[in-house]
Structure formats: C-alpha cells, structure tokens
Chain A
Amino acid sequence: MISFSHVNKTYPGGFLALKQVNFTLESGEMAFLTGHSGAGKSTLLKLISMMEKPSSGSILVNHTELAKIQYKQIPYVRRGIGMIFQSHNLLKDRTVFDNVALPLIIEGVSHKEIRKRVEAALDKVHLSAKLKCFPYMLSGGEQQRVGIARAIVNKPPILLADEPTGNLDPKLSQDIIRLFEEFNASGVTVLIATHDLGLIARMKYRMLTLKDGAMINDGLVDGLQPQGEFNE
C-alpha cells in the first residue's frame, strides 16, 4: 500500500516539484502516473523509494511512515520495493545473472536459492538464454527486461517503474506492460510513471495525472482519453 497525504517537495533553490499531493494506492492495485516532463512524476517515485525526502506531508509505504525512518533502515524499506528505470541502472561489469542476483546477495540468500530464483525471474522475462551475457551485449529492450527481472527477483510487494518503455518500440513496450500486468495479477502493487498515453489509452487502469507538481486527475482509463488538462 502507498499513501500520500498533503505531500510537498521543494528542491534546494526553491523549485516546488510537488504541491499538496494526496492519493492512496491499495495493495494489489496497478496505476499509471502521467504528466509532462517536469510535472513531478520522477520526484513522486523518488519520494516512495526514499531517494528524496518530502518537505512536508506524510508518505506511508507498506504501513511504514517514511518520515520516521532512520538512515540505517532505508535499505530495508527499499528491499520491499522493486524499482525499474528508463536507464536500466545495470552493473556494466557484471553478467545478467549477477545483476539479477544482486538483491538476493544483499539479503544473504543461499547460492542454491539464488540460482533457482534468478533462473525463474529470467524465465519470466524470456531471457534465460542470456544468463552469462554482459549488459553491453544486450539490446535496449533486453536490458530493460533484465532490470525488471532484478526488480521482481526478491518478490517485493511494490513495483515502481519510471518510464520503463521510454526507449522501446511499441511492440516491446506492450510486452513490458503485459509483464507488469502479470505481476499485478499475482498481487503486486504496481505504479508506472509514463508520458506515453498511447500505450495506456486502451487499458482499464487507474491513472494519476500530475501537472506542475499538482495532482490534477485521479481516475480510471477506460478506452478514452483521461479527464483533465494533460493530453498528449
């Protein structure tokens, strides 16, 4: 569960990135976060993953008030959140297997268990054959799928994705979204930030729309363009 209550975020220099944002994403729910570049989508995801701290307001993630979390506890909160980025954020000098295994190594899981779970995660994203490849040997779409496998390998209850289809062609983008739907179907809470409305227009999911840091729309996408000022 993710809950924002009167959240404001001001960056040093006075730029107001989020203004009085309120919303609740229940456990097992899937939603899209949309808005123009600079609307505050990434800031919102950064606040959930504790890469940034809110200037005011309250954020609850898995029933934990993030404002009360101490520095040493941050990694343990992050282990409950799978994060996927447009830039993939893979370790360049490690193989696909090592990249996907990283969250499990950090948690101190046994070698046998790691092998089993990494293979299962790579199978899910159809990359079992690329186990020993390095990231530079993969296409953009494959790298993105490695990032997804890494995000789901330790079975987190929440998945966050920041422009996961940003550099991908429409076919690959659809495949990636289908993967998120599969994870959501197994009970994972999914929040995807995207400005690609064409991708989600025909889906029946909740859409949160940000404009200049303010939440201007929170409703279902039902084969129509969402209500509000943001239209691509």
Chain B
Amino acid sequence: MSNLYSSKLKQRDNLLRRLLTFPMWHIQQAVGSLGDLWRTPFTSVMTIFVLGISLALPATLHLFVKNAHQVSEQWDSASQITLFLKLSINEKSTKNLIKRIKLYPEVDEVSYISAKQALKEFKILSGFGQSLEYLDKNPLPATVLVIPAQHSSHADAVNALLMKLKQEREVEQGKLDIEWLTRLEAMAQLIKDIVLSVALLLCLSVVLIVGNTIRLAILNQKEAIAIMKLVGATDSFIQRPFLYSGMWYGVFGGLLSWLAVSMLTHYLSGAISHLTELYQSNFQLEGLTFSEVFLLIAFAVLLGLIGSYISVRKHIRTIEPNAD
C-alpha cells in the first residue's frame, strides 16, 4: 500500500517537474533557433531583407490609402448642396427655413444668398451688367448653401440629404454636383482593392520564402533529425526550433519593414508639406501608429510561422532514421 502511495507521489512529482521544465525548454529552443540564424548569417540576412521589403510594400500602400483617405475627407467636406428658393417666399419664411435646416443632424453649415445679392454677383461675373438693367424685376431666386456634416459627407449620404431638403415647401429646386464625389470614391475603392490584391500576393510570397528557407534548413539538418528520431524525439520536438526560426524571421522582417516605411515617411514628409503649403492646406503625412507597427510585426510573425509550419509538416515526417 505504501509502495503504491509513494509511486503515485512520484508520478505527481514527475508531472509537476515536467510542467515546470516545459516552458524552460521552449525558451531554450527559441534562443537556440536564434543562434541557428546567427550561425548562418548570409542566408538569414538575405531572408530577413526579402521579408522586410515584401512586407514594406503593402505597409507603404496601406499608408498611401490612409493618407489618401485623409485628403479625400477634406475634399468630401467641400461638397455642398445648393437650394434655390421659390420666388414667392418672403424674408421671414426664409429665416424660418434656415433655422430648420440648421437643426438637421446631417448639416454642418448653412449660408444664405439673397436674390438681390445673387443679381449683384451675376452682374459682375456674367459680363451682362448693363443688359440686366433693362429687366423689370429680379429673375434670380434666393439661394441657401448647405454644407453636410463630416459623417454625412459620403456620396450616398449627401444624396439622401438633398432629397430630404427638396421636400421643404420653400425650396423650388436643389442641386448637388455629386459625380466628382462618386468618381473619387470609386477611385479610392479601386486603389484599396489593388492594395489588398498586391498585399495578398506579397504575403503569399513571404509564406513561400520562409517555407523554402525552412525547407533548406531541414534538409541541412537531415542527419541530425534522423538521429533525434532514433533516440525518441517526437515530430513536435524536432519541428519546434524550425517554427521558432520562422517566428524570428517574422520578427526581424517585420521590424525591418517598419524601419523601411518610417524612413520613407520621413523622406517624403518634407516634400509633401512643402507641396501642401503651396495649396494652403494643413495636410500632414501620417506615419504608422504604434498599434499599426505592433500589428505589422504580429502579422509578419504569423506569416513566418505559417510558412515554417507548412514546411516542417511536409518534410520532417518524411525523414526516417537509418541504422547504417
């Protein structure tokens, strides 16, 4: 009975000891695989550079889309609705209308051009100043200019606002030059799609590059893998250092791509701010945020792990020990 008790205690101790040593061995294998990368500097540096550049391209394209969105938001706010009021509307009704429109949540700003003011501007701009003197009465209607709020500046939202404003009884006609906005949005969508496609292709190439590098490392270690299998190593034990190598490639590739994007942003920001100053715009080139950098590196690690996992699954099982 006491033997059974002591054997159970021993088993529990063994399990506890294994649980404690397991993370230690993982850390050791992770550090060891970093050492493997260090021992093959040329291959490692080349692979990291290829990964870094491959990841820098979609990261740069992402920055382009992000900054283009920032620019387009400024353009979006420039879209305005012009409401021509009925000729019969008096000043009091007009003021009421303006008050009502200002209460719309979709509206940011409302300005009013009276019929008299409109005629004055038309005389100056059209060049028909003297001819207009012969008219009995002012043919131009009073006009209300409506600038949509930021959250309602997209083509669909602005169109919906126009429909709503047209329902107002004082409004004779409403106009919105929506086409350029629609075109801009379509272009932005096209760029986003292109960026996504290019990014997908580059990510696939990263997986293939890591997979191939790990495959070569496995083939180089073929003899050692066979010996390890011979003394009882499981496939997961053997594949762990290769998976960690994939992880390290991802970490360093991700850091390199961040460095490349940061350098590019720094290089371009001077030229861009000079250009935007000429257009009297306050546009500033935005770089990668902290969370974006973290995501970039995490994504690179994920790609590295996927590439190495595919490779180890395919190749390690095929290596069998030979007693000869």
Contacts and interface: CB of A to CB of B under 8 A. Distances in A.
Provide the main secondary structure of the chain B interface: helix
B237 interface: yes
A169 interface: no
Contacts of A69: none
Interface in A132-173: 150, 162
A208 B21 CA distance: 43
Contacts of A150: 231
B25 A105 contact: yes
B228 A51 contact: no
B323 A106 contact: no
Contacts of B237: 106
B324 interface: yes
Contact of B230 (A78, A105, A107, A110): A78
A7 to B, nearest CB: 17
A87 B324 contact: yes
Nearest to B229: A75
A179 to B, nearest CB: 18
B227 interface: yes
Nearest to B324: A87
A89 B227 contact: yes
A61 to B, nearest CB: 13
Contact of B231 (A51, A72, A106): A106
Contacts of B228: 102, 106
A91 interface: yes
A103 B232 CA distance: 7
Contacts of B168: none
Contacts of A106: 228, 231-234, 237
A110 B227 contact: no
Interface in B304-324: 317, 320-324
A36 interface: no
B323 A83 contact: yes
Contacts of A78: 229-232
Q: How large is the interface on B (under 10, 10 to 19, 20 to 34, 35 or more residues)?
A: 20 to 34
A97 to B, nearest CB: 15
A93 B22 CA distance: 24
A108 B237 CA distance: 10
A8 interface: no
Contacts, number: 63
A93 to B, nearest CB: 8
Nearest to A51: B321
A51 B22 contact: no
A110 B324 contact: no
Interface in B179-236: 224, 227-235
A91 B227 contact: yes
Contacts of B18: 108
A58 interface: no
A108 B25 contact: yes
Given A106-B237, A108-B21, A51 B227 contact: no
Interface in B225-260: 227-235, 237
B14 to A, nearest CB: 10
Interface stretch (A14-22, A41-49, A115-123, A221-229): A41-49
A45 B85 CA distance: 101
A56 to B, nearest CB: 21
A109 interface: yes
Interface in B277-324: 317, 320-324
A223 B179 CA distance: 106
Contacts of A51: 230, 320-323
A107 B232 contact: yes
B230 A42 contact: no
Nearest to B227: A89
A93 B322 CA distance: 19
The 7 closest A-B pairs by CB, nearest first: A79-B232, A78-B232, A75-B234, A75-B232, A103-B231, A106-B233, A110-B21
8 contacts: A42-B324, A51-B323, A72-B234, A89-B323, A102-B231, A108-B21, A110-B20, A110-B21
Interface of B: 17-18, 20-22, 24-25, 224, 227-235, 237, 317, 320-324
